[in-house]
Amino acid sequence: MDGKKPHLNPFKNSGAYPVQILQTERLSLHHATEQDAAFIFDLLTDQTFIDNIADKGVKNLDDAKAYINNSLINSYNTHGFGLFLTKLKSDGTPIGLCGLLKRDVFDCPDVGYAFLPQYTGQGYATEAAKGSMVWGKDTLGIKRIIAITMPGNKGSIKVLEKLGFVSNKTIDFMDSENLLFEPV
């Protein structure tokens, strides 16, 4: 050995342990691991998620583990960011996913979030998304973040407007019409 320590990506994760990324007033955001499969199954199979985001094809816990590995952990390792498991700080209850996504069709990351229905309407999405955007800008040096949502997703539109985004056009994304939101 030459005495140098190997350079480690602090955001890279094997998926074996949760890495805390950030905290807000009421929430903590972590890397998801296979141990979160039951929660991910519940979130991704909730009809509200399917109607407002997409059917991710998760039908059982093995599918949820595959989603965690192939989508969430792969994004952490590839981009240094992704959708993070969002938990209540008060008791550690997982309530949703929130973070930044890098999609091939966009030239910059977009902010994304999904919460179980019993945790919507309480400001958690706004709080987590704001924290994720500040973290992305301050920690990763990301200059521009956009957002997309389906036109009928009124709750998401409200969150994005609170975050200072405006919708200036409609785009076709994943075979459906979506609103593109950009910062003011």
- With cut-offs at 50, 70 and 90, classify the pLDDT of residue 19: confident
Which pLDDT does position 14 carry in this prediction? 52
Which pLDDT does position 176 carry in this prediction? 86
What is the reported pTM? 0.89
Which pLDDT does position 6 carry in this prediction? 33
CATH architecture of the domain with range 20-183: 3-Layer(aba) Sandwich (3.40)
pLDDT tens, position by position, 45-56: 999 999 999 999
pLDDT tens, position by position, 76-106: 999 999 999 999 999 999 999 999 999 999 9
Q: Which two tokens stand for residue 149?
A: 């949502």
Q: How would you class 19 by CB atoms within 10 Å of its CB: exposed for 0-12, middle for 13-18, buried for 19 or more?
A: middle
Q: Which two tokens stand for residue 96?
A: 């949703």
Asked if 132 contacts 98 with a C-beta cutoff of 8 angstroms, the reply is yes
What are the residue ranges spanned by the domains of the chain?
20-183
Q: How many helices (H) and strands (E) does the chain have?
A: 6, 8
In the predicted model, what is the mean pLDDT of residues 55-66? 97
> Mean pLDDT across the chain, nearest whole number?
91
